[in-house]
Structure 1
Amino acid sequence: MHEFSIVQSLLELVEKICEEHKAKSVSKVVVSVGVLSGVEPHLLKVAFDTFKENTIAHSAELLLEIEGLTLRCNECGAVSEKKELNILCPKCGSFNTTIEGGQDLLLRSVEMEYEDED
């Protein structure tokens, strides 16, 4: 299951960001998951909850934003968001399309907490 290695890399990145910003902990991590990214959102969440223990993100919540498939038709020029996972242009039916969204796995944000400075 490659979600485990993805989460290990994600947590390393989160720890690096916290170190750079001198944060004491993480309360929320937001990740965008494209429907064509090859990542199973449920498995990513399970892996995150498993590996976050003993890290700066031990109490963090993982929020997943699912990014749908977006196509640009090279025939009619239409840009479409699709529910179906195929490359047919919904406007003209052409196969001559370019995928413009839905393939990525992106760290969107990290909500950090800091020590109180009295």
Structure 2
Amino acid sequence: MHELSLCQGLVRQLEQLAADYPGKTIVRVELTIGPLAGIEPALLKHAFPIAAAASAAAEAELVITPSPITLYCEPCGLEVTARANRLICPHCGHWQTRLLSGDEMILQRIELED
């Protein structure tokens, strides 16, 4: 379960961000995670309270939004959306594609309160 170590790294990043706002606590954390990131969102949500205990994010709600898999097709020059098990261009059927998104975990936003 590498999701716990990912959460620990996330909490370190949240602590650094919260240090700029003394006296405030983190109440909401928003992430975007692609299906090719190798991260199980349910396990990440389960591990987050464990990693965040005794931190500025201890009471924070973790919100995860999935991101689409986006490819650039070299032959037809289009940006297309694909499925995880089918990384070919749905327009022309070619396999010469380049991954543009879908393998990321991005901290989109945090909310702080007094």
Q: Which moved more, 1:33-42 or 1:81-90?
A: 81-90
Map of 1:65 onto structure 2: 65
User: TM-score scaled to structure 2, two decimals?
Assistant: 0.94
Q: Relative to 1, partners in 2 of residues 1:104 and 1:63: Cα closer, same or farther, differing over 3 Å?
A: same
Is residue 55 of structure 2 the alignment partner of residue 51 of structure 1? Answer: no
Q: Deviations over 1:10-63 (max 9, x none)?
A: 001101100012242111000111111110000100000222221111111000
Give secondary structure in 1 for the equivalent of 2:29.
strand
Q: Distance in 2 between matches of 1:84 and 1:51?
A: 29
Q: Distance in 1 between matches of 2:85 and 2:113?
A: 39
Deviation at 1:78, TM superposition (A): 1.6
Structure number with greater Rg is 1
Percent identity between the two aligned chains: 32
Gaps of 5+ in 2: none
CA distance in 2, matches of 1:95, 1:83: 13
Any runs of at least 4 consecutive aligned residues in structure 1 with deviations exceeding 6 A, and if so which? none
Task: Compare 65-74 and 82-91 and name the one that shifted more.
Answer: 82-91
